[in-house]
Structure formats: C-alpha cells, structure tokens
Amino acid sequence: AIYGQTALYLGIGAGISFGIYMMFKRYQTSADIPESVVKSQRKFYGIVMDVSDGDTIRVYHTPLIQWFSPPPQKKRGISNFTISVRLSAVDAPEVSHFGKPAQPLSKEAKDYLASQVLGKRVSIKPLSKDQYGRLVATVSYRQMLVFKKNAAHEMLKQGLAQLYRGGGAQYDGEKELLESLEANAKMAKRGIWGLKKGQYESPAEYKRKHK
C-alpha cells in the first residue's frame, strides 16, 4: 500500500511538473513542436506576425505564462522565432516567387487573409506537418472579440481558395462542410470562380507547370 501511495504521489507530481513546464515552453518554430502534440491535436495560441500568401501564415507562439507578452517588433530573422502554419484543407492562388509569375487573385487572397488574422491572436489546432516542415493546422480567430471564425472557411466562402485535394489532405472532420462552402462560392462566381475560362488554373496545376 505504501508503494502504491508513493507511486501515486510521484505520478501526480510528475503531471503537475509537466503542466508547469508546458506553461513556460514556447515553440520557436514548427520544428520545436513535438510529434505527440501533433498526434493529440493539442491546441495552442499565438499572434500572427506575417501572412506569406493566401494559405500560409507565421505565428509567434504565446504559451499561457507569456500570454500578455508582446511579440517582437522586428521582422528580420522572423523564420527563427515564428511557426510557419499552412491552413488545412485549402489551396490559395500562388504568389510570385523564385521568378515565377503570380496567379490571378493571389494578392487579393493574401490581402484578405491578412485583413482577417494579421496581428491577431489565433488558435492553432495541429493536424500534421507537410513536406516543407510547415505545421498544417486548423486556424481560428475572433472577430470583434465575439464571433469565432475559421480561416479556411472564410477563404473558401470568398472564393479566394479552393479545397485542397492533394496527398496528405487534412479536413479536420469537416470535408462535407468544406465542399459545401466551395460549391456555394462557385455558384455565386466569387473570387477565382468568377474568372473567365482560361484565366485560372488550380494552384496544383500551376505548381506542376512551374516545377
């Protein structure tokens, strides 16, 4: 009985210690996020410091103990202290990079996502990591401190992204809802769906063409 009690107390102590450690632990980049956190889809929070394009953001992680600490003002070396997060389930038009031309509405997609999340605290629900080491996640945020929004949902509603159907696609149990949001935007000819035939190709087709 004594041994059983000792083991119980040790277990409780270890659990409390781990909880305190997690309150202080800040993930600098996606490489710091343990596989156990991704597998358990354990949510964490952070402030969006940069929007790379219509489906990728950089998040400064704020664990509970640093909740009110402001993020760094500097942008130099941002990749060393922020997490690269890819919005799950969506594919937005490709911006210009490495000498490749931008896709139509890529700037509008990037600007709209920035208008929704840049500088805001967001909830990150990790689902996987992609081949580039980015964290693929469900990203949620508050509008006017009240209304909870899902960033991927909003991009689909505006017709500024389409459903990602490639390998390793993560839908967080919402595939039917996501398909419905995309179909509604198509019917309303919003964003990319309002472009003339031949003006638009999917980001997947664009990437294949410009490998």
Q: Which of 58, 86, 154, 182 is catalytic?
A: 86
- Joined together, the tokens standing for residue 186 give 């198509």
Cα dist from 59 to 17, 22, 30, 63, whole Å: 26, 18, 10, 12
Task: Determine whether 86 is an active site residue.
Answer: yes
Q: Which of 58, 76, 94, 205 is catalytic?
A: 94
Q: Which residue's structure tokens are 């929004």?
A: 149
Task: Determine whether 134 is an active site residue.
Answer: yes
CA–CA dist 163, 209 (Å, integer) = 19
Q: Which of 58, 76, 108, 134 is catalytic?
A: 134
Task: Determine whether 42 is an active site residue.
Answer: no
The catalytic site residues sit at 86, 94, 134
